[in-house]
Chain A
């Protein structure tokens, strides 16, 4: 067998690649196709049985239901807000780590960035609940400073804060990687040509860091887009995400086809996002 492989190198490549490709096709593509197919079925509301006839009813309901549009728009807007917030916070942090900090400080900062990831996602969301509660840490501190209490528990603002906190490491790391790769000579060249700090940042560093920011934004955007736990735990009375409606459709109404139809919305949004990201060269920085 070894001889056969040596004579035909393509065979080696194919046999190496085929298990992951097979798994990819079976697990990823097949699941997506199944999702799409079941979104074309409907459920009999009386018996709860799935009716296996093709129809676009679910998509019609999605399109005409004002609630679902509100929920989809809210999900996308929060995901975008979280992405922008994380990018703004991550850039100076990553810049300091990559270009200014010494090796020892850099290692410490790395640990600090990654430390939250060691704790469970749920524990971190609950920690924020404790901070934002009416009698929580935030209001306690504000009272000590003689400031009025912030009413943040169970609001969309709370959701935005918690998401921004939770996904921040996923933005810092790719931005750091992109910044670290910029050769120092580029910055010197910019200076030699008379550019001040601001001009160098705008014209040299930012464009070269952009693929890293886009790569990070894929994580923060898609992770927020698909979440449904944080809205339940820290969201308010108008905080439903696409994931919450999908969950309620499956576990509540038993309407898997409608859930499948709604679940296709983030898939489509992400596909569009990834296409744009590829245009901007994000995948070179991953």
Chain B
């Protein structure tokens, strides 16, 4: 090889090593989103892309914790939006990962149920960090053939009657379910909010979960796992989402679910916008689009959850008869008064005291519980 050829090789090598040099990155009109599975379906994403020219790239996350981690990855500039549940949203707000938006720019905002316009999991200090999307309860699911009499209380998953046939989610936020049960059954503990627990209340809750552990067959990680455990007889009763119930009933499994007399925890999801987005315009268009009655109804039926837009009810019944009542989209205020929506536990107890167990404590307690 001659000298000049070596020089050529060197130039090519340097060029290959720095491919991006001198090329400016164009990302105009693209929204990179972190979403729950089933939240960015083609039936409502395609029309959005067509009418606005904004392209949607969605990455599905498996848990709230993963969503927070992803939103913070790469300095927070990798993703423009996230469909955060209540146990993730406050972490994102306090971590300054998401920005406040002006709800008056969302035409359908005024049609949202009053409870969902400024819920504490996405509205802090009067500022709206995104808009509410859909909600649902965490229900008690049971096999109607194997469980009798039909349960009316969460006590069913804490009593030894169904030992070895109980299943609950493998998720630190599950501690709130036990706290809710204690709030109703042991008033002497003084639990006011299942997400604001001082160390005494927290220890009592963990003790209840430790006593429950020998009764449990499996802490389920995915909805699919719980569905198959109910199908093949590994579990006959457990904490669940309406999605599993719908899927099991569609498969002709003998199951039923309910919100027990103590009430239930639930999720309320919020579309939030990253503080570092370069596509605020597209993001606002997306917020407007997913809050319209039609998209709200489509998503509610697809996933089995309840829309926040009160006008979605009529559209739901048009798309699938009876679905509005099935998903409680027309339920009275009394119904969701008994749902305690997920929110991130923080040290601030909300009563001026700062001695509550924060989410890090919940996570390590959950890891220790599983042992």
Contact = CB atoms under 8 A, between A and B. Distances in A.
Q: Indicate, yes or no, whether A interacts with B.
A: yes
A6 interface: no
Contact of B95 (A47, A66, A153, A154): A47
Contacts of B18: none
Interface stretch (B38-46, B112-120, B210-218): B210-218
Nearest to A68: B367
B367 A134 contact: no
A245 interface: yes
B360 A135 contact: no
B164 to A, nearest CB: 7
B69 A48 contact: yes
Nearest to B96: A47
Contacts of A188: none
A64 to B, nearest CB: 12
Given A236-B218, A254-B68, A254-B69, A1 B1 contact: yes
Contacts of B358: 45
B261 to A, nearest CB: 27
Given A133-B233, A136-B232, A254-B65, A238 B370 contact: yes
Contacts of A45: 358-360
B45 to A, nearest CB: 25
A203 interface: no
B107 interface: no
Contacts of B65: 251-254
B219 interface: yes
A240 B1 contact: no
Interface in B234-261: 234
Nearest to B92: A48
Interface of B: 1, 62-63, 65-66, 68-69, 72, 91, 94-96, 164, 172, 213, 216-219, 221, 232-234, 358-360, 363-364, 367-368, 370-371
A212 B105 CA distance: 71
A232 interface: yes
B370 A153 contact: no
A118 interface: no
21 contacts: A1-B1, A47-B94, A47-B95, A47-B96, A48-B68, A48-B91, A48-B95, A67-B367, A133-B232, A133-B234, A135-B232, A136-B232, A151-B164, A236-B217, A237-B216, A238-B371, A240-B367, A245-B367, A251-B66, A252-B63, A252-B65
Contacts of B96: 47
B95 A70 contact: no
Q: How large is the interface on A (under 10, 10 to 19, 20 to 34, 35 or more residues)?
A: 20 to 34
A134 B218 contact: no
Contact of B66 (A47, A71, A252): A252
Nearest to A66: B368
Interface of A: 1, 45-49, 65-67, 70-71, 130, 133-136, 151, 153-154, 232, 236-238, 240, 245, 248, 250-254
Nearest to B231: A135
A67 B232 contact: no
Given A1-B1, A48-B72, A237-B218, A252 B233 contact: no
Contacts of B164: 151
Residue of A151, A252, A253, A254 with highest tally of chain B CB at under 10 A = A252
B66 A237 contact: no
A251 B213 contact: no
Given A252-B69, A253-B363, 19 more contacts: A1-B1, A45-B359, A45-B360, A47-B95, A49-B72, A65-B368, A130-B232, A133-B234, A151-B164, A153-B217, A237-B217, A237-B219, A240-B370, A240-B371, A250-B69, A251-B66, A253-B65, A253-B360, A254-B68
A252 B217 contact: no
A154 B221 contact: no
A136 B360 CA distance: 39
A46 B363 contact: no
A105 B315 CA distance: 68
B69 to A, nearest CB: 4
B233 A254 contact: no
A148 to B, nearest CB: 14
